[in-house]
Structure 1
Amino acid sequence: MYIYKTKGICPPEIHFQLAGNILTGVRFVGGGCRGNAQLISRLLEGRELSEVLPLLKGIQCRNDTSCPDQLYQAIQLAREGKLREEEPITVYETPASYQRVAVIADVNGNVEALQVALRQPVETVFCLGNLTGPAGDNDGVVELARRKKLVFVQGPFDRTLSCTKPENREFLRRAPLYLRFQLGRCRVLGFYSGFIQELSGFSDFAPYSLELLMVSNLSDYLRNESVFSALETMTEQFSVDVVLFASTNEWKHVRLGKVDFINVGPVKEGGQFKYALLGWAREELQVSFETVKA
């Protein structure tokens, strides 16, 4: 995928993909006329560049350019190798719906902690990142996660602290950055933290970026309560009902408007193991933080 920062037009970014000589996935994001942008995207989908480029070049709208003209310039830069192909910000959406799940984070290479979490009486266990850690048995944890088919998202350690075995490094590399699942009638989104913003493929206008930016930047991971009223207003634009995140080593549950924000701390705290228990019962979300003694 390519992300082009525009000049002189309403949409601040254009996203598109090139498969050889074929143009796909064109999106004008962040502003402008939504209807016209969708029409352009549909008309260009799957067409060869030899057809597309003459149609786009030189169209004038404002500031001696236009949305089509900016797309033309972006494609040309990509073809010349002057626009970098970005790593996609991947989202994993589970195929099943759940009634009772456990959520952990910051395993940090602790095999015992992951074993304890996987034994809990729930339908499945999700991990919000940092399977690996600075002083942990990273290969052991990753191999256990692979055997148990653990669904997890990347944390910053998973990207920077490599395992010894190449197959384990590859397993971590291919992990998604966002997790999306259904709990009863609740749409749930999970991620580790705002480190995703630092990745080259991140866009403020991509799916779930609003949720991440509001949690990470606006509320400082729910630690700045003075912005809660503003955050509650912004939740009207959220695409999910529950936001799960880690990164602060805290355990916290706050409901603002119609959205539940759940901060998941490390699975090992002192001599105890902890996890967030999410359930759907009597037509409502139930949240608790459970402790298991070592």
Structure 2
Amino acid sequence: MDLVQHLRYFLAVAEELHFGRAARRLHMSQPPLSQRIQRLERQLGVRLFDRSPREVTLTEAGRLLLPQARELLLRADAVLGLAERVDTATAAVLRAALPPELEGSTVAAVLGGFRERRPRTTLELREIPSAAQQESLTRRQLDVGVLHLPCDLSQLALGPVVHRPLGVLLPAADPLAALPEVLLADLRHDLVVFPRAAAPARFDDIIDTCARHGYHPATVHEVDGRSFTIGLVLAGTAVAFDTAAGQHHPDVVWRPLAGQPLAERMAVAWPRERHHADVGAFADTVARVLGPGTAPAPRPLPHTRPSSDFLAPPYGARHE
């Protein structure tokens, strides 16, 4: 058991005296938090909290542990800070990742923008899906990444969220291509989308949003590759979602979705407990390339929005 991490869970619950609020503070769901507190109690051989339907209170053992836990965590943070300063003095490589869907011009702009800010740091930039990035960041095989939201951020710090509305790709000959905007409910085509394994929560949000807005594709093609996606759209039986900045085929038309029910949301993320000295420069570069705003200094946000906040309300009729 990672005692330091479990003491962080204990401290959050002890200060909030509410498992739900503590879970939100830790960027995790409540059941895993409860399980980890129970595991800590089993490890220590004492009960730390009295739980009732109305309140959570510290036991005598919990009250005795609280100041000790605070002191131990302060010392642990000091050790991590020392290790970070040693790394900063020697590290000249930033291991970073971008999701595969980004346009080539965006990748080039990130590389160029970071080089201007940190000319002495080598940026090892890789193309990795969001789910694989999360695992690599947690295992510290990556220093920083750009993740599609929503996703599990329980062990990561998050930069500003960049919002890019999604439209629909249609064959130029499709009657819907003549409209200025398209309702999801108007679509009768199959859907081409990225593989669910690449970003499960985002995939499910897209399918659920389509269903709530009246679009129920008979077949969902999970495709890893822009060229194959465009080929299926050109065949005339399928559509795909993309941003307006996407690199499209001359015979494919991009149309906005009425009410903007779908959006691509991305954010720079890095390991919460310890970050590379150049994470801030990378986050600032990505924020400037992908959207407005300036990235904050590397630190965890108070909480992230649930996936329901990423969705616009349903639109049942077109507005002329």
TM class by shorter-chain length?
A: under 0.3
Instruction: Say which one has the larger Rg.
Output: 2
TM-score by length of 2: 0.25
Normalized per residue, which structure has more strand?
A: 1
Normalized per residue, which structure has more helix?
A: 2
Higher relative contact order (CA 8 A, sep 6+): 2
